[in-house]
Structure 1
Amino acid sequence: MTKEGFLQLYKKYLEGQCSQEEMKVLFEYQDEMQLEDEEWNEVPGVKWWVKERIRRRLDLDLQFTGEAKYRHLYWKKYAWRAAAACVIVIISIGTLNKYYSKPKSIVHASANTPVKTTGVSLTLGNGKTIALSAVNNEVVTNTSGVTAKKLSNAELAYAHEKVTSQQPAEINTLKTPTGLRYSVTLSDGSKVHLNASSSLQYPVYFTGKQREVILTGEAFFEVNASAESPFIVHVNNQKIQALGTGFNIKAYNTESKTTLINGAVNVVIANTSRLLAIGEQLQYNSQTNKIALQEVNTETVLAWKNGLFAFDREPFADIMLEIGRWYNMEVVFAEGDKYKKFTGTILRYEKLEDVLIRLEKTGAMKFQLDSKKIIVSIP
């Protein structure tokens, strides 16, 4: 692979557009590539932020840190080689020596748990369900005069055409299984990236003054701008309104998180509303009606689109819930404080064991697999 090809592939990865095969190629070549400043600058289309983000990657394992002891680890100028195959960390100084002095344990697994590669389904208005993995890159359905075509193993697209009918459009539902992401381009040109264990309900074409969809789970929305027709996502007793913007919604249970990446969105809950600024995240618990607003690292929020698990001072219980959801495993805490907080990023490996081994290497936790359970011990 040429250096130019490597950089273009890396840029594609950072934008969340890499396929699994491309990511494998990227990881195989990353240690062989050594690029100086002038070489980065000479590559057409590669911006400075690509260079800087790559160089911030460190060849370190995730390290545990107590909530009150966070301290940023300053990035070495050229320590970017291992990139997403390794873990980015923020740790306390004392923790590094503490855990590197411990012997590394190995997870005791009873079975290998690969990620699913099939299971995405499309349910039509008449109740018929289509397994998209069984369909080649061809027309999947043609309902209400709108054609839906499978573009790849991970993308479905509805024809972008005007429909003059004012009759209610047929409703389709796209569902993803554990361990698999999928994208759909709606008839208005808006694109929705669904995370695992999620579903999106939408009309095959939009009529009237609003474009409305219903989400369960997590998705990133790239909304096609239309001042005359706002885009509305219904989720957990909320309405997220957008004119043309990029935002992420995570709502697997009673708690949901809406994060604005670019543009502007308005979150409506009952009789209250909040206009989010870029980088803000609104958290809402539909059971307690509690609302919280905070600034977040948007790269961490969107890490799932790049094939990563990422967390920023997250309770370990929440981290393991996400890992368990991806691999379709129940998580049981045998001992220790499951609310200790961690910060880091790790690749969503094909096998669960690969993730657990890398977490175990920190010395901060141990795992055992028992059928469909992950048993966690925190010393």
Structure 2
Amino acid sequence: MHVISRIFSASLAVVSAIALSACAGGALGGTTGGGSSDNTVKVGLLVSQSGVYASVGRDMQRGFQTFLDQHGGKLGGKTVNLVTVDEGSTPQSGVAGATRLVRQEQVDAVVGIVASPTAMGSRDIFNSAQVPVLMGNTGAVALGGAQASDWIWRASFDNRDPGRALGRRLAADASGGKVFLIASDYAGGHENLEGFKKTFPANRIAGELYPPFGTTSDYSSYLAQIRASGAKQVFAFFAGGEAIEFTKQFAAFGLSKHVRLNGTFLTDGASLAAEGNAALGVRSTAVYNWDRDNAVNKAFVKDYRQKFHALPSIPSGCMYDVGVILNKAVASISGRVDRASINDALRSIGTVQGARGKLHFDDHRTMVNQMSLIEAKKTADGIRNVTVRPLP
């Protein structure tokens, strides 16, 4: 059994206790929500402001804030009362944040959520309270499928999708040789690699490793195993501080001279600047990139760069689109704007034009995205992630 299984089981035991306590006696306030008037809507933003994924949470907050700034702080014509809570980097801190937003703050909707353990640990809280949740980063597999909650909308993606898309692409290239798989040892890492294995031949997988979640110091033993395997390519899932250290050490170990590094989120956002030349040539599957060629994205990138002096990342783009979706939903409500009416509006949202392009939810409340292959390259503006081609 992987280490994550033992750690996650123990964490969920604590999380379940928190959830049961929060849900006891119907204390979460039903479907009405609170704090809103006829002219306002109260939104809870749950993102990591501390821990290994703090940079991801910051980018998510920036993406959503850019949409609000463009629309005068309103969604669907209603003034937004935004409450931001730190998700932290553990299931316990994430669930505590979700509980606060639902029970104490009585928000009408929740947006954000960085990590899969937070999403899965908070599922029963959101479901029992009947609070609509638009997830802008995590794509935990357990939140989709036939048993998905009616109140949880994966406005990001399914965690398996990036791996499936790239696995299919690499499988078509017989000259690409064997691929070594490596990911952070938690649900998101396992599910990304699971997706890759769905579309890539098993006899071309050279090995599979899961460093403990939160590793940001020494990957040398894992890199040595990759070198010894004779693999010609690597597919990796790391984000935030983990992505920075893995990518830098991959290059310092000399592997980048002979092995192509592919992944999800490896060179995204602030990671790219921290990695510098070590990121050059790294390819990633992306549901969003700053150079998407559509009018909505061009306006988003312009305003984001002006405000934050940086290019938007994948979580930034997804959270901007959360704003697009929620704006359309609230605008379509003719009566009282509350938890139930927002969720009903999301069911009939149809297609929206976001920074990612044309978007719609599938039958299991998961966003259908156009994937693309991006590569970190030197440009006249410095090292940038540049779109190479669309992926199926």
Tell whether the structures are fold-level matches, with TM greater than 0.5.
no
Structure scoring higher RCO (CA < 8 A, sep ≥ 6) equals: 2
Q: Normalization by structure 1: what TM-score?
A: 0.29
Normalized per residue, the structure richer in helix is 2
